[in-house]
Every structure is written in C-alpha cells, then in structure tokens.
Chain A
Amino acid sequence: MSDVEAADGVRAKTTIDTWEDSLLKVRSLDAGYGDLQILADVDVDVREGEYITVVGPNGAGKSTVMKSVFGLTTHMDGRIYFEDRDITEMPPEEIITVGVGYVPQNENVFGGLTVEENLEMGAYILDEVPTEAMEAVYDRFPILRERKDQKAGNLSGGQQQMVAMGRALMLEPELLLLDEPSAGLAPDLVDDMFDRIDRINDDGTAILMVEQNAKEALRRCDRGYVLVNGQNRYEDAGETLLNDQKVRQDFLGG
C-alpha cells in the first residue's frame, strides 16, 4: 500500500498501526453473518482510555466491527484480544464480564421496564444491584434520576440513549462500544450527546464508537479508522483524518 497523494493538507497513513499493549486488539479479522463476509483483514486497536471512532460510508461494515468485538457476528478468521485475553468467540454474556460494555444502535432500551429496572438489568450478572454504580449513572445523567420510575419506552430519544448508556455503564466497563449514539437524535441534542461521551471518556473509560456524523466524531476522538468495503483504509489522529483532503472528499462529503 502506498501513501495517498493529497493535493494539499495532510497525508493520511494507509498503513494501520498496531500496538502490543492495547486494551483491545482486533487482528486481521474476517467476519460477517452466516455465509456473508462483511469484514476482511480488519485491524483495530483501542489503548487504555483512548477514544476511537470508526467512520466510513454506509455499508462499509462499521457496525459489524463493533458487533464482532461483542461476539454477535460469525467469526471467520483473525483474533480479538481484550487485555491479552482471547475473546474472539466468546458469547456476549461472557464478554460483559471481562470489562466491555455495548450500546446497540436501535431498540437499545427495555421499553416496558422502568428506567431503574433498565439499569438493574445492566448489572444482572452481579448478585446485588451495585448501588454505587447506579448512583454514578444518575449523577452522570440527572434527568434519569428524576424519571427513574417511568417506563423507558415513554422517554424521549435522547433520554433513551442515556438509559442505554447508563445500562452499559452499570458494570463500569473499561471499554464502551457505542453504535451510532447520535442516530435518531434531534440536531440540537447531538452536541449534548457528544459532550456526554467526552465526559465518560474523561473519566477513564475507553471508547470505540461508530458514527454516521463523521466530522463531529473525528473532531472529538483521539484516533479514527476509515472503513471502506469492509477493510480499513486509513488510521490516524482524528484531526489529521479530518483535515486530509482525500478523506474529506471521499468520505466526509468535501
């Protein structure tokens, strides 16, 4: 692979850097659904406390990367390690026990359960509801404390997203997987959501996020991956990708 020629601006790397001490290591991953292969030879690293975004056009397989980490796809080749533990074919109910939390894109709350019950379900694997973790979630999202006895299905989209994140934070994961957290939010709420994600990251939780809203996501993250046709093309600091003429033109709409 050669470096991409850019008319001006920075040149994004086309080699994908990997680190041996990363929290999450995805190595040469091939994965998909059933017989359908979506990902080919994907490498992704998330180091401790890092904020990583995966961007790319529709159908590039962004969500599939995330689902693969969480054991929701058909594994074909390659390995996934978390803290040097091979989690490649671990089922989700085990992966949450090693320190990975996952917030799916759609239908990510139990609508018929109250807010508090949703949070309790997030800590189902523990014998007792971790009151400290729940308080921390309420402190992070005060509106949820006010609404704790309401059915999650009756909340607004933004509040439901908070419930979904809160549920994933109940086990205090070291890595949080966020699938399109801004999807379906009213435009004026998107910034607020990104601010909240920043704060979760500031408190030490590493983030691996897939976002449609690529510019904003790249602006906020530490590093980004550009995924095209199930392969990662570029990897670099978010700002660098954002300023790269080629990346801008091809994937960020100019």
Chain B
Amino acid sequence: MGVSESYERGRDLFQSNPIGFVLGLAVVILVLDMVRKLVTGDVTVARFGLVLKAGVMRGMVIGLAGIGLSLTYSILNFANFAHGDYLTSGAFSGMAVSYLIAGNFGRDASIGALLLVGTGGSVFGGALGVGAVTAPVAVLAGLIVAGVATIGLTLLVDRYVFKPIRDRSGITLLITSIGVAFVLRYLILFVFGGSKRGVTAEQPSLSVGVPGGAVEIGTHDVALFVVAGVLMAGIHLLLQNTKLGKAMRAMSDNEDLARVTGIPTERVVRYTWIIGGGLTGVAGYMFVLWKGTLGFFDGWLLLLLVFAAVILGGIGSIYGAIVGGLVIGITFSMAPIWIPSAFGRAAAFVVMIVILIVKPEGIFGGTSTA
C-alpha cells in the first residue's frame, strides 16, 4: 500500500516535471555518494571540511562582488562588464595603501615599489608582513581605500562614459562597458606590471581537529567572512529600511514611474554607483587578501563566476547574488571530489545552466529586490 502510493506519487512528480525530477534524483545520488565516501573513508572529513570551507569563502567573494553587479544591473538596466576590472582596481588601490603602511611609508622599501604593489618583484607583501593580524592598520586602511578609490573610479567612468549614453539600449551600454573593461585592465597592467605576486604574509590560523586531520581556519577566512557578512547585512538594511534604498528598489521596479513620482533619478543612479562601487572595491580587496596573490587578470577571471552567480540567483536581486555566489563557490570547490580539479570552473557553469533549465528566471527571479 505505502509502496505503491509513494510509487504513484513519484510517477506523478516525474510526469509533471521530468527535468526537475531527474535533477532532484542526481542531487540525492550525489549527497548519498558523499555520505558513502565519508563513511568508507574515500574522502576524509577533514578534506570535506576543507573544500566546503573553501567553497563558502569563494562564495562569499562572488556574492559580495555580485551584489554590486546586480545593483547596477537592476537600476541602470545593463550588464556591466567593467565590473571585474573594478574588482581588480579595488584590489590594487587597496593593496598599494596596505603596502605603503606596512612598509612604513618608504622606510622598509622605496615608496615607488610600495605604491606599485611590488611591481617586478621589487618588494614582497610577505616580507612587509601584510595581513590582518600582522598589520591590522595597513589592512583596514587598504580596505577603506579600496572602497573609496573604486567609488571614485566608477563615478568618473559613469560621468564621462555611461551618462552620455544612458538613454541608449542595454546592448550599447554593455558593449561600451567591455571597452571600459579593456581600458582599465591594460591601464592596470601598464602601471602595476603583469606579474602575479604574493601579497600577504603568513597569518595565524585556528586548527579544528576532525576525523582524518584538521580543518585550518585562517585569519583571512575569518576576515572575509566578517566583512562580507557585515556588508551583505548592511546592504539588506539599506534597501529595506532607508529612503534611498526604497527609492533604489522603486527605480529598479519602474523607472518612468519613479520619475513622475518625484524621485530624483539621477541622484539615485549616482548613489547606486557609490554603493555598488564601494562594495565592489572592498570585494576585490578582500578577494586578494584572502587568496594571497594579486594579478591584473584576477577580476576579469572572477567576473565570469560572478555573472554565473548573479544569473542563476536571478539577475537584479541582491539576495540572488548572495545565494548564487554560494552555489557557484561551493560547486567550484566541491567538484574536484568527483572530477579532475581542472573542471571545477566548468562544473560551476554546468550547475548554472542546469538551474536555469529548471528555473529560467533564476532562484530569486521575478521578485525584484533591487
């Protein structure tokens, strides 16, 4: 009786949503397989903890970077491909300040080398002791400067590039933003050089003992988690509870109506860039601080994952960006348990495509949350 009933229910489910059914089955199989691997010891709990932590961390970076992208998408109606290079800009400007302060304003190395973030191997962040514990002031100042400098950059770009073509189609803006991305990227290459450099010193970490080893939780893991968490909560409160946040949501809902309601749309656009730019700069800096290396291509590479996260979360929704970021980050990190690690990025995109097949508007799609 019970068996045939659940069989019937399963058949109904399969008929009403076959793709969803198959995918659900796939997820169940993967979870069961994970449990099996853990029980049999194919994968130690320690390794599982490590990849999960790495996935969550990566997800936080992607989510934080995605919020800025989602905000500008929903309010300005275009996909900003320069976003990745805004991340890189934030990382370089912030790191330059961190180097400067950690290098005691030129006493430990030449000012030029510090400001150019050790271009060409002239000085190393490890030697300067850049890190949240070893040089907290340098990191905090770098974080703030990363945000502020990126705000300045986005406003400047908006004023001279995007504002004059604001009335054009989203495609025009998108292609223009690709141009901006190239200009920024190669300006950064020109100024700071193309070498990928280590920027942080060894930081203390907490070792949590689990079966089969230990999960290391580093200072910068905690720093990233706290900064991203605080900023995500902050942007949520801003959008839900402040007049500006409500105006931003109103504008993302219906820009024409916002205008006839008396909302100063240009000013809201400016604040959108300020908030989006600040978040993006901070995200870029935290990304680099967390992974410990910095290169002029970092933001661009991350942007593909950010776009994947934002699209699968439901483009235009900041909550979608956060959840999408976590899905992409965790997939990216967990995939090597089953497939060669070189395919982590591919797996993340497969998950995006699969989710979009089941829910084309994205996880949070249709609910405009700015």
Chain A contact residues, CB within 8 Å of chain B = 70, 72, 92-93, 96-97, 102, 104, 107-113, 117, 120-122, 124-125, 167, 171
Q: Does B260 lie within 8 Å of A112, measured CB to CB?
A: no
Given contacts A93-B264, A121-B263, 7 further A-B contacts (CB under 8 A): A93-B263, A96-B262, A97-B262, A107-B257, A110-B249, A111-B253, A117-B246
What A residues does B261 contact at CB under 8 A?
Answer: 96, 121-122, 124, 167
Alpha-carbon gap, A124 to B268, bound state (A): 12
Q: Are A92 and B246 touching (Cβ within 8 A)?
A: no
Q: Which of B252, B256, B262 contacts A124 (CB 8 A)?
A: B262
Closest B residue, CB atoms, query A109: B257
| 28 sampled A-B residue pairs with Cβ under 8 A | A92-B262, A93-B263, A93-B264, A96-B261, A96-B262, A104-B257, A107-B254, A107-B257, A110-B249, A110-B250, A110-B254, A111-B368, A112-B368, A112-B370, A113-B249, A113-B253, A117-B246, A117-B249, A121-B247, A121-B250, A121-B258, A122-B261, A122-B262, A124-B247, A124-B261, A124-B263, A125-B262, A167-B261
A188 CB to closest chain B CB (Å) equals 27
Looking at chain B's contact residues, the main secondary structure is: helix
Listed residue (A70, A72, A93) with the most chain B CB atoms within 10 angstroms of its CB: A93
Known: A104-B257, A108-B257, A120-B243. A93 touches B262 (CB 8 A): yes
Cα distance A122–B257 when bound, in Å? 10
* Residues from chain B with Cβ under 8 Å of A111 in the complex: 253-254, 368
Confirm or deny: B172 has a beta carbon within 8 angstroms of a beta carbon on chain A.
Answer: no
Bound Cα distance from A232 to B141, whole angstroms: 67
On whether the beta carbons of B249 and A92 are closer than 8 Å, the reply is: no
Residues of A within 8 A of B253 (CB): 110-113
Is B367 in contact with chain A by the CB < 8 A criterion?
Answer: yes
B residues with CB within 8 A of A: 243, 246-247, 249-250, 252-254, 256-264, 367-370
Contact A110 B257 (CB under 8 A): yes
Partner of B260, one of A104, A117, A125: A104
- CB B137 to nearest CB in A, in angstroms, measures 38
Residues in B whose Cβ lies below 8 Å from that of A102: 260
* Cβ–Cβ contact B260 & A70, under 8 A: yes
A122 to B256, CA, bound (A): 14
* Closest A residue by C-beta to B263: A124
Q: How far is A122 from B243 in the complex, measured between Cα atoms in Å?
A: 12
In the bound complex, how far is the Cα of B260 from the Cα of A171, in angstroms?
13
Which of B247, B252, B257, B370 has most A Cβ within 10 Å? B257
| Residue among B246, B247, B256, B260 with the highest chain A CB neighbour number at 10 A | B260
How far, in whole Å, are A110 and B367 apart by their CA atoms in the complex? 12
Check A112/B264 contact, CB under 8 A, given A93-B259, A120-B243, A120-B246: no
Collect the chain A residues with CB atoms within 8 Å of residue B254's CB. Answer: 107, 110-111
Nearest CB in chain A: distance from B158 CB, A:
20
Which residue of B243, B246, B262 contacts A113 across the interface (Cβ within 8 Å)?
B246
Contacting residues, chain A, for B258 (C-beta < 8 A): 110, 121
How far does the Cβ of A168 sit from chain B's closest Cβ, in whole Å?
8
Which 3 pairs of residues, A with B, have the shortest CB-CB distance?
A112-B368, A96-B262, A110-B253
Which residues of A are found within 8 Å of B246, using beta-carbon distances?
113, 117, 120-121
Check if A92 sits within 8 Å of B259, measured CB to CB.
yes
Residues of chain A contacted by B259 (CB below 8 angstroms): 92-93
Q: Which residue of A lies closest to B261 (CB)?
A: A121
B269 → chain A, closest Cβ, in Å?
Answer: 14
**Please, which residues of chain A bring their CB within 8 A of the CB of B264?**
93, 124
Point out the residue from B250, B252, B260, B369 that lies within 8 Å of A92, measured CB to CB.
B260
A107 vs B260: C-alpha distance in the bound complex, in angstroms? 12
Measured in the bound complex, the distance between the Cα atoms of B113 and A102 in whole Å is 60
Contacts of A122 in B (CB 8 A): 261-262
Report how far A101 CA is from B335 CA in the complex, Å.
57
A93 vs B243: C-alpha distance in the bound complex, in angstroms?
17
Q: How far is the CB of A174 from chain B (nearest CB, A)?
A: 16
B257 cross-chain contacts in A, Cβ below 8 A: 104, 107-110
A104 to B254, CA, bound (A): 12
Compute how far the CA of A38 lies from the CA of B368 in the bound complex, rounded to whole angstroms: 35
In the bound complex, residues from chain B placing their C-beta under 8 Å from that of A125 are 262
The docked-state distance in angstroms from the alpha carbon of A111 to that of B263 is: 16
Cα–Cα distance between A120 and B247 once the two chains are bound (Å): 9
Shortest distance from the beta carbon of B251 to any chain A beta carbon, whole Å: 9
Query: What is the chain B residue whose CB lies nearest that of A97?
Result: B262
